[in-house]
Chains A and B, each alone.
Chain A
Amino acid sequence: MRVAAQFLLLALASGASPAYADWQLNMPRGVTEISHAVFDLHMIIFWICVAIAVVVFGVMFWSIFHHRKSRGARAENFHENTLVEVIWTLVPFVILIGMAVPATATLVKMYDSSDAEVDIQVTGYQWKWRYQYLGEDIDFFSSLTTPREQINNEAPKDENYLLEVDNPLVIPAGKKVRFLVTAADVIHSWWVPAFAVKKDAIPGFINEAWTNVPEPGIYRGQCAELCGKDHGFMPIVVEVKPQAEYDQWLVDTRAAQAATAAAASQVLSMDELMAKGEQVYNTACAACHQTNGQGLGSVFPALKGSKIALGDIEAHIDIVVNGKAGTAMQAFKDQLSAVDLAAVITWERNAWGNNVGDKVDPATIQKLKEGTE
């Protein structure tokens, strides 16, 4: 009992002023109007529960201390009282109605995603996020960058361990941003605590959510629905930029994407392809097929010595570019550039003693990509 009481005290003490230290006890208050409303709801209901607990447990402990046999207490005979019973049915009911009113108001606001100024389609993949800015021609993937060594305790962990990505989502400050959340394979859930936005990403359906962040900053979250092996390793990072910087970012990103597409006409040497391929492989493929190419169990096949990797190059390209429907092997044509794809396939055909010796040109891939669009 004492332990619980101490924890409760700690909880109470920190309730009003959330601490962000390690022994953080309460929900962060967040940075948006909605997240503040949610935080307030959380605190109201918490205090209601505490108050009821004090009364109920108060009476209980009072009885435990005073009405114990060892103190000579004799049991009374009463065993019902309609009035009291009606009261303690009605009072909680009234309290709950009092709670339901603000909750409803907040919920209605959260559901109103109309009049958004920026629309972003968010798609969950095993195990990364894809962000498509509708009408802006910007489309990229965002995956974990924490190095394997840190996860395997072979290197000291950074401050943002497991909460860092290669390409964060960038949104403008002070604008209503609508997210169209969906998934490509299994259910994921897009969650940024500071915005109080958590929406499940359902394959085949779109859920709407929105936020309006007043202050620029970097906000972190995680996938919140079990989505397979690396569910714990698909963080979300959102960079909120002032409008001007955001506009600049749009321009830069579009330019960078165009440059990557243009690079598809390059012809790269075997060495260049292999070097690039290893790097791409380790970020995009190793989660399933493992760094050593040996796969994992029977679910994720080994590529070392695999029939496809050693066999017909067309089939190899096809499975990587188009994926295999109904399996975790997803289509990489939208995820990787033509150069990356060419490199990674080349790498798979020549790494770990696969030594097939052939290579893939980015142009071949580019043609395939265009053909399917």
Chain B
Amino acid sequence: MSHSAYYVPAQSRWPIIASIALFLMAFGAGSLINGLANNSGGLGLTLLLAGAFAMGMILVGWFRTVINESQGGLYSPQMDRSFRWGMSWFIFSEVMFFAAFFGVLFYVRVLAVPWLGGEGEKGVSQMLWQGFEAQWPLLTTPDMEQFPGAVGVIDPWHLPLLNTAILVTSSFTLTLAHHALKVDDRPRTILWLGTTVLLGLVFLLFQFSEYVEAYEELGLTLNSGIYGATFFILTGFHGLHVTLGTLMLIIIWLRVMNGHFSPDYHFGFEATAWYWHFVDVVWVGLFIFVYVL
């Protein structure tokens, strides 16, 4: 291990302002959501937007500082390792976040729904829901008045399959971009990165049209019972992560165009790539467990 002096940044205003922004966002979102019920979320919306705007500015500023420091050669290899570890553990925390929702999906499929339908060790529960039959995907819920169920589910072999292909391909194109960067072939890096961004956007577009179909044609909504709930929470959070990943890719893309990164030092690029691959893997899990099985 080489131990050149470790860079300890000077005092920074970013964190505390970011905390305030986060607070505004949280408080605003809380007021907004609570207000929805009685149509009085105006102030909440303002706070939320102000907070989000501030947060956006801060992130830009904060990252600019980091990028400047990095470009200014302040970062030692040890620092680089810190970033790598940091990013890896962050992704691990994301894995656990999704794991929770997958756990929920398995629990309701394997245990809760069959119990309600009279199967398994707690099958007596069916006494409370006479006439309810367990099936998956759950289209007819125990209480159709409160949770009206869905007419149908998304056919995995159309859009979802296509989306799987798109995301898997995007992982490849991103790897191609990485290889190009390593041999300092800028134009090809830019080309492949651009392709990846495009694939991400197309994925999001398809996902959006799928949601429209779910709501308008299939009656598959958040309110349609546990199938809809697990479907939307899993695909929804995945979609948010794709959105974030695409944004990160766009930033990296712009940086590559501006001549940032060197063939042997480009952690920002790699971190984004790791994140993207992670988002991909989650999708494959989703495709199998949410759509196909």
Could you tell me which A residues sit within 8 Å of B by CB distance?
Answer: 121, 180, 182, 204-208, 325
Q: How far is the CA of A325 from the CA of B147 in the complex (A)?
A: 12
Do A205 and B142 have beta carbons less than 8 Å apart?
no
Within the complex, the shortest CB–CB distance from A70 to chain B, in Å, comes to: 44
CB interface residues, B 82-127, toward A, < 8 Å: 115-116, 122, 124-125, 127
**At the interface, yes or no: B128 with Cβ under 8 Å from chain A?**
yes
In the complex, what residue of chain B is closest to A202 when comparing beta carbons?
A: B125
Give every chain A residue within 8 A of B142 (Cβ-Cβ).
Answer: 204
With the chains together, A325 CA to B125 CA distance in Å? 20
Residues of B contacting A121 in the complex (Cβ-Cβ under 8 angstroms): 127
With A180-B124, A180-B127: A205-B146 Cβ-Cβ less than 8 Å: no
Query: Complex formed: what's the CA distance from A103 to B146 in Å?
Result: 42
Q: Are A206 and B128 in contact (CB under 8 A)?
A: yes
Q: Which residue of A lies closest to B123 (CB)?
A: A206
Q: How far is it, in angstroms, between the C-alpha of A204 and the C-alpha of B126 when the chains are bound?
A: 9
Residue of B nearest to A205 (CB): B125
Asked if A204 and B124 make an inter-chain contact with CB atoms under 8 angstroms apart, the answer reads: no
Total A-B contacts with CB atoms under 8 angstroms apart: 23
Flag if B116 contacts A206 (CB, 8 Å). no
Chain B interface residues toward A at CB < 8 A: 115-116, 122, 124-125, 127-129, 142, 146
* A residues near B116, Cβ cutoff 8 Å: 204-205
Chain A residues within 8 Å of B124, by CB: 180, 206, 208
Contact: B125 with A204, CB < 8 Å? yes
Contact: B127 with A206, CB < 8 Å?
A: yes
Residue of B nearest to A182 (CB): B128
In the complex, the 10 A-B pairs of residues with the closest C-beta atoms, listed nearest first: A205-B125, A206-B125, A206-B124, A206-B127, A205-B122, A204-B128, A208-B124, A180-B124, A182-B128, A206-B128
CB neighbours of A325 from chain B (8 A): 146
A244-B116 Cα distance, complex, nearest whole Å: 38
Q: Write the nearest CB–CB distance from B116 to chain A, whole angstroms.
A: 7
Smallest CB separation, A111 vs chain B (Å) = 9
Tell me if B122 and A206 are in contact (CB < 8 A).
yes
Bound-state Cα–Cα, A107 to B122, Å: 17
- Complexed CA–CA distance, A204 and B225 (Å): 14
Residues of A within 8 A of B146 (CB): 325
Residues of chain B within 8 A (CB-CB) of A207 are 122
Q: Find chain A residues with CB under 8 A from B127 CB.
A: 121, 180, 206
Residues of B within 8 A of A205 (CB): 115-116, 122, 125, 128
- Chain B residues within 8 Å of A182, by CB: 125, 128
Instruction: Report the bound CA distance from A208 to B122 in whole Å.
Output: 8
Residues of B within 8 A of A180 (CB): 124, 127
Given contacts A204-B142, A205-B115, A205-B116, 6 further A-B contacts (CB under 8 A): A182-B125, A204-B125, A205-B122, A206-B122, A206-B127, A325-B146
Nearest residue (CB) in B for A204 is B128
Q: Closest Cβ of chain A: how far from B143's Cβ, in Å?
A: 9
Interface core residue of B115, B127, B128, B146 (most chain A CB under 10 Å): B128
The residue in chain B whose Cβ has the minimal distance to the Cβ of A180 is: B124
* Nearest-neighbor residue (CB-CB) of A111 within chain B: B121
When chains A and B are docked, how far (Å) is the Cα of A207 from the Cα of B122? 7
Question: Closest residue to A113 on the B side, CB-wise?
Answer: B124
CB neighbours (8 Å) of A208 from chain B are: 124
A206 to B127, CA, bound (A): 8
Tell me, in angstroms, the Cα distance from A208 to B123 when the chains sit together: 10
How far, in angstroms, from A207 to B124 measured CA to CA in the complex? 8
Shortest CB distance A224–B (Å): 20
